[in-house]
Each structure stands twice: as C-alpha cells, then as structure tokens.
Amino acid sequence: MSEYRYINESKETFDVLIVGSGVTGGWAAKEFCERGYKTLMIERGRVVEHRQDYTSEGKGPWQFPNRTKVDNLLAEQQHNVQRKCYAFNDATKQFFGNDRDLPYSTEQGTGFEWIRANQLGGKSLLWHRQSYRWSDYDFNANKADGHGIDWPVRLKDIEAWYAHVERHAGISGNYDNLSQLPNSEFLPAFEMNSPEKMIQHKLASLYPDRPLVMGRCAHLTEPTQYHIEQGRMRCMARDECQKGCSFGAYFSSQSSTLPAAAKTGNLYIAPNSVVHSLIFDESSNRVKGVRVIDNDDLSTREYFANVVFLCASTLGSTQLLLNSTSKSFPNGLANSSGVLGHYLMDHNYNAGAGGSIEGFENEFYSGRRPTGPYIPNFRYEPKRYGKGFVRGYALAGAAGRSDWRHNSQEDGIGADYKASLITPGNWFFGLYAQGEMLPRYENEVALHGTKKDKWGIPQLHINCTWSENERLMMDDAAEQAEKMLTDVGLTNVESWTSYDTNHPGLAIHEVGTARMGKDPKQSVLNGYNQSHDIPNLFVTDGSAFCSSAVVNPSLTFMAFTARAAAYCANEMKNKRI
C-alpha cells in the first residue's frame, strides 16, 4: 500500500478536491482515485493513523483514572455537548470535538446537540454502524403525503450503488425479504440469544406485520478474500468500536476507503486545514478551490481543483456554503433557491418500553454483540400511519441479564453482597424507537450575525424543534412497544417518552439543509448531488436529503457519494464539467 501523501502548501490544480474525510469523503476519494483522478482531501482536524493512533484500544475500565468517566471540570469546559453522546467517555474522548473551540448557538427556547469528530476519518471512527437500505416507500413518502418535495430518485436509481458499497464495506445481516426494508449484499448475521428468539417467535404469531429481525451492521462476521486483502479481519464482538478497531472489523475511512484510495498513488491529504469558504469565479460560473485557515497557527492558504465535493457533514457543508458569497450568490453559494440551511432533520429517539423475561435462568450469552434485534417500520405508508401523525418509526432492542454494573448500585454489605456481584441477575428486554422527522422550512441553520469562532468563521445559529407530529409519533411508539412486550409475556413492562427533555441532534443523524430536488427553485442539488447553479460543485453528505426516513442514513450517504462520483467522472470525461 502506498504511503499517505500529506501536504501543506500547493499551487497545483488537482482534478478533484474533497472537503471532509468521514464516511462520504472516504468514498469520494476511493472512487475518484481508482478512476485515475489526482485527488486532494482536505480535513480540518489532525491525522489519525489506523492502528497506531487507537491509543485506548484494548484497555479495561480499571486502567483509566476514573473508570472511563471524564473529569467533571474538563467535561464542563471542553465537552459540554459532546459528553451527551452515548459513546463519549475517557477512552473515546480523543475522537470527539472540543466544544470550547467549536461554539454555536441555538434559538431561544430550543436546543440542538451538535456532535462533532474533527480528525482524519471523522465520525466514521465513532458511528454505530447500523446499515440499512432505504425502500421505495421512503423515497416516495414526501410525494405520498405532501410533506416536503419529491425525491428526484427512487430505489432503482441507487440499488446498484447500494450493492457496490455493501460489498466493499461488509454488511452483516439476514435476507428478511421485507418490502419496507430491502435486502442488502450480506455477510452472515449475528445471532439472537435464546430470549430474543422466543420473543421473535411469539411476535411472528401475534404481529405478523411486525417481524423481529437481526440488526444489520457494517461488521465483518465472515470476511471475504476481498476484505482480507484490505487488511481487515473478523469482528471479535468486543463492542469497543469507538476506541478504534485495529482489526478493521468494522467499516471506517481508516480501515477501508482511505487505504484503497492511497493504494492508487492519486490521493493527497491536507490535514489541519479548516476550510473558510469556496473560491468562486463569476465569469466561468465555476468553483475554483477553497480558502483554508491552518488549524494550529491560523495562517491562510488556498487549494485549487477542477471539481469540488463537499463531504464535511450536513451542518459543516452548509456552514461552508453559507459563508461563501459572491455577487451572484449574496445569500450563500449555490443558493439561488433560497432553501440552503432550511429543512434540517434528525431522527426521533424519544420513546421505548422494557420489561422482565421469566425463565432462561440457565442461559447466558458470549461476547458483546455490536448489534441487536430490530423491528422495521410497520407504519411505512399512508394507510398504515398512526392516529394524528404521518410517517413511522422502527424499534431496536436487545435482551440481556443484569450484572455487577446494576447490582453495584444496590444496597448491601459483606460476603453475600459480594457474591451477588458475580451472580447474573434477571433477564430483561427493551425496545427503543427511532422515528422519522418531517422536513419543515422553519427548522433551519444560519450564520450568526456577530459571533465567530477562533478561525474567524461565523458561528452557526440553529433553530430546530420537534413538531406535534414527532411527539404524537413517539406517544404511539411507547404505547405500541408496551403492548407488544406485554402480549409476548414479559412482566413489569413500562414505557416512556423523552421528547420534552431531549433535543434534536443526539441521534447524530442530522440531514437536510442543502436538499436535492427536480426543481432548481425548490432545491440546491439535482438527483446526482450536483449543484443546480454551479456544475462543478457536488454535495454528497446528509445535507442533500429531502427527508430523513426511519433507518440509519450512513449506508445511503455512501451509495449516493459513490453514484455522484461515477456521474461526475463521466461528465468530466465528456468535458461537460
């Protein structure tokens, strides 16, 4: 494999310039480099080398000063937002952004938790790896019920690209043959434990339209020769993925797409390079490159290319476009429609239910499986919507036994109490909702009028709230989850909702704000993620989405990026860009 080529100053005009190195940036680099294009990737954060920089990998909690809890003062000063993420702790904090240096504001009376990972690889080092294809119900939803604009694509347009990225990344799962959750190209699925199989069997009888399937995830359960040639190995079910995985057992830029791009000799990387704005040439109506501020010493430089791909995350790419103005685009580059920054969405993780499982006292499980059972969206078309709301939700869950972590919080003393810490407790099963958020114009991001960050870039100001639709959806999810668990025989079943306390953002599935569409007056991008206004500008991260659907978005990010790169390469070859 070729060594990575890191650069600082360069006056060269590259074929392609990619902003961002996460899930989408890595795919854009792989696709262009393998097609022979000299490609520059710009990353605002530090270099993270695969294996070498996973400094906490393999360490047990007892090897950290506070058992992986981050010191309260440090958390308050540097990680006030980031620490709200489920994956944040002392073993993973090095991969999260520093909130002190990354300020933003929210509209009074609202809130948004913006989770960031500014380093080579971005959030591909931190994501939860759940990987699902969208169905035609998802792509058709806006048109079907009138909320949002119609997507310019359908499943048939992207199906081959799903297969393309799945074969490379490695997705474990079962062929469940569900219309609302299309099959992928699968490696073998992880196995359910005995209580989960029991619940699966009972649900199949009681709720045949609500199957319990195994969650699909980007983990190598049985790597192919192709994966082995990438230098990747079987998943060991350590479930410590956010520390970094030297096995390369889960898909990340470091383990998969960046090595493939570097192998060609066509990849150049400019780390510690905070993009300030795009360089736009009025006379040719083309983007020429980017203006950059050094992450460390705040010096400035410029990079140039024939094509620019923005893969800086939903809010990152939108902030960059809003901060790039010209005579033709006084309100943000490629924003003739005026919708740039609007229609921000996240997933609605605000309901669930759980209960106790009787029996199975002689059963346990092995390993720390990185996924769990999943009930796909059963409200996936208008005739199946619940009372008072549109769209739907999925329910993810798992069965487990309480252990010392729970028992250590109980009262006790002496030998009997110590013995209880090594005795497995009762079995429990929980279901947790992941619902769709409607595209609404008033959910928006804009540049703050006066506040700037340490690089002199205007901060983002975010106005995003749950609507009554999302609240009613979660009420229904709690009610249905409780009913299903009661009906299959669980005891002590309780449900809950949390939309009054949880802000958007913590699902870390933010999408929208630079949506694609058929009509340039209503959208920023066409169906190939290409700017309607500027032909050599593409945006392939979540900002391109017209709706959020229910399933996790990362697999769709990858497929759209690979498709856009292939389209762009063909346009370049035929000199239309």
Which residue type is seen at 45? Answer: G
The residue segments making up the domain with residue 487 are: 178-215+349-435+466-503
Pairing type for strands 444-452 and 458-463 reads: antiparallel
Sign for the CA dihedral angle at 226, 231, 234, 235 comes to negative
Determine the length of the chain. 577
Q: Is residue 169 part of a domain?
A: no
Report the amino acid identity of residue 43: E
CB 314 within 8 A of CB 543: yes
Distance CA 21, CA 265 (A): 17
| 564 in a structural domain | no
The answer to whether the CB of 573 falls within 8 A of the CB of 39 is no
334 in a structural domain: no
Pairing outcome for strands 39-42 and 267-270: parallel
What secondary structure does DSSP assign to 4-22, as a single string? PEE-S----EEEEEEE--S
How far is it, in rounded angstroms, from Cα 355 to Cα 68?
29
Look at residues 35, 389, 430, 1 and name the one whose alpha carbon lies nearest to residue 229.
1
What dihedral angle (degrees, nearest 10) is formed by the CA atoms of 124, 262, 33, 299? 70
Terminal Cα distance for the chain, rounded: 31
> What local confidence, expressed as pLDDT, does residue 281 receive?
98
Q: DSSP assignment of 452-514, as one string?
A: E-TTSPEEEEEE----HHHHHHHHHHHHHHHHHHHHTT-EEEEEEE-TTTPPTTTT---B-SS
How many other C-beta atoms are found inside a 10 Å radius of the C-beta of residue 519?
12
- CA 555, CA 339: separation in Å to the nearest integer? 25
If you search the block for the tokens 């709230």, which residue do you land on?
Answer: 465
Report the phi/psi class of residue 508: left, alpha or beta, with left for phi > 0 and alpha for psi in -120 to 50. left
Q: Please check whether residue 453 lies inside any domain of the structure.
A: no
Identity at 52, one-letter amino acid code: Q
CA 133 to chain centre: 14
Cα–Cα distance, 264 to 484 (Å, whole number): 52
In this prediction, residue 1 carries a pLDDT of 41
Sequence-distant (≥ 6) Cβ neighbours of residue 91 within 8 angstroms: 56, 59, 61, 64, 68, 240, 242, 243
Tally Cβ neighbours within 10 Å of residue 78: 19
How many domains does the chain contain in total?
1
Q: From 275, 219, 342, select the one nearest 21 (Cα to Cα).
A: 275
Structure tokens at 570: 């063909």
Maximal C-alpha separation, the chain: 82
Q: Is 382 part of a structural domain of the chain? A: yes
What's the DSSP call for residue 96? Answer: S
Domain assignment of residue 407, yes or no? yes
Provide the β-strand partners of residue 41. 18, 269
The string of pLDDT tens digits covering residues 63-97 is 999 999 999 888 888 999 999 999 999 999 999 99
H-run or E-run covering 568: helix 554-573
Burial class (CB in 10 A: 0-12, 13-18, 19+), 52: exposed
d(CA 19, CA 292): 11
Identify the segments of the chain with pLDDT beneath 70. 1-2, 404-409
HEC letters along 156-218: HHHHHHHHHHHHHHCEECCCCCECCECCCCEECCCCCCHHHHHHHHHHHHHCCCCCCEECCEC
- Contacts of the segment 227-234: beta carbons below 8 A, 24+ positions apart: 227/170, 230/255, 230/256, 230/259, 230/260, 231/1, 231/255, 231/259, 232/170, 232/256
Q: What is the pLDDT of residue 250?
A: 97
Residue carrying the six token digits 């493939």: 260
DSSP annotation string for 382-411: GGG--TT--S-EEEEEEEEE--HHHHTTS-
Quick check: is 235 in a domain? no
Q: Is residue 200 part of a domain?
A: yes
- Residue 558's nearest CA partner among 156, 28, 119, 154 is 28
Query: Do 545 and 507 contact (CB within 8 A), yes or no?
Result: no
Closest CA to 473 of 379, 372, 342, 541: 379
